[in-house]
């Protein structure tokens, strides 16, 4: 689930910035929910303009959906419709952090794009009425922000996160910049609140999915990575569950590859409204 203010993937925001470089990000907000349950797949990402949103330090409302920080957990009231087949997605998600982190770091040499995990390790409670689903498990919550479109700063990145046996969470951000050398973040977020760097293994190529997006992950050679499941396969973005080797352990990773060059093409922009309808 992703809450967007000025969606980096939005073709409408891209076109608005071309017309007016001062176009407001608040005019391009969306709640993205992706469900991958057995026999149930849903995708919501309806973009809404500023008259449909309100926000303050504890609340963010986008149309009928609402995020609220209670002081102890994030409560998300979902009331959306899936695309391309319109079906309701309604219910409540609660994310309960084990510990909050104030860590943030630049993704690019210019320091115009930043990322930080708010809660690298958390619990999640999901109670959906439509489609009916109720479960509890492990969660992760982070934040990205930037002063320019990602196409101005990057060509591609691979990102992954995995829980380790000591309860810490390892995050790898493998970044290819549009200008400048590649950047690698290899960070471990401990249960004690410490953030430490670790030596990342070599990059390993992964099999291409249907849309042939090249993807890779860093995995120890004696524990080569394998794809357990590809959750999203698009012309520019792939989300997968992997098994790989990290810090001497065999781990299960959530992994994504974003090919910004593919995203930043006219053909892709024209395809995106099928997955991202807009209400002004």
* Residue keyed to tokens 């609220």: 68
Q: How many domains does the chain have?
A: 1
The pLDDT tens digits of the residues spanning 115-136 come to: 999 999 999 999 999 999 999 9
Closest CA to 87 of 48, 52, 41, 127: 41
The pLDDT tens digits of the residues spanning 68-93 come to: 999 999 999 999 999 999 999 999 99
| CA gap 89, 36 in Å, rounded | 13
| CA gap 182, 176 in Å, rounded | 5
Sign for the CA dihedral angle at 260, 265, 270, 271 comes to negative
The pLDDT tens digits of the residues spanning 163-200 come to: 999 999 999 999 999 999 999 999 999 999 999 999 99
Q: For residue 38, what pLDDT band results from cuts at 50, 70 and 90? A: confident
Cβ contacts of residue 163 below 8 Å, gap of 6+?
Answer: 121, 138, 169, 251, 252
| CA gap 20, 29 in Å, rounded | 17
**Residue 61's pLDDT is what?**
98
**Residue 111's pLDDT is what?**
96
The pLDDT tens digits of the residues spanning 95-118 come to: 999 999 999 999 999 999 999 999
Q: Tell me: pLDDT of 271 over 90.
A: yes
This prediction's pTM: 0.94
Range of the domain at 45: 2-279
**Residue 40's pLDDT is what?**
87
Task: List Cβ<8 Å contacts ≥24 apart for 60-65.
Answer: 60/3, 60/5, 62/3, 62/29, 62/30, 62/31, 63/31, 63/279, 65/31
The pLDDT tens digits of the residues spanning 201-248 come to: 999 999 999 999 999 999 999 999 999 999 999 999 999 999 999 999
């Amino acid at each position: 689930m992703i809450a967007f203010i000025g969606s980096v993937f939005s073709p409408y925001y891209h076109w608005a910035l071309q017309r007016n470089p001062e176009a407001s990000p608040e005019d391009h907000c969306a709640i993205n929910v992706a469900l991958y349950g057995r026999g149930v797949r849903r995708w919501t990402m309806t973009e809404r303009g500023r008259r449909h949103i309100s926000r303050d330090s504890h609340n963010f409302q986008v149309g009928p959906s609402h995020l609220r920080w209670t002081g102890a957990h994030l409560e998300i009231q979902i009331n959306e419709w899936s695309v391309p087949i319109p079906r309701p997605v309604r219910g409540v998600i609660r994310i309960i952090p084990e510990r909050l982190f104030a860590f943030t770091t630049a993704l690019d040499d210019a320091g115009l794009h930043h990322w930080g995990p708010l809660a690298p390790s958390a619990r999640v409670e999901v109670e959906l009425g439509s489609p009916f689903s109720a479960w509890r498990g492990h969660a992760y919550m982070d934040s990205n922000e930037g002063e320019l479109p990602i196409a101005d700063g990057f060509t591609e990145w691979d990102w992954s996160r995995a829980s380790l046996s000591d309860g810490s969470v390892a995050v790898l951000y493998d970044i290819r910049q549009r200008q400048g050398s590649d950047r690698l973040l290899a960070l471990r977020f401990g249960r004690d609140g410490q953030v430490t760097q670790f030596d990342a293994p070599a990059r390993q190529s992964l099999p291409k999915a249907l849309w042939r997006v090249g993807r890779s992950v860093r995995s120890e050679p004696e524990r080569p990575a394998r794809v357990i499941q590809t959750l999203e396969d698009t012309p520019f973005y792939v989300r997968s569950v992997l098994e790989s080797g990290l810090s001497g352990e065999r781990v299960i990773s959530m992994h994504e590859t974003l090919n910004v060059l593919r995203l930043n093409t006219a053909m892709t922009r024209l395809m995106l409204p099928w997955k991202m309808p807009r209400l002004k």
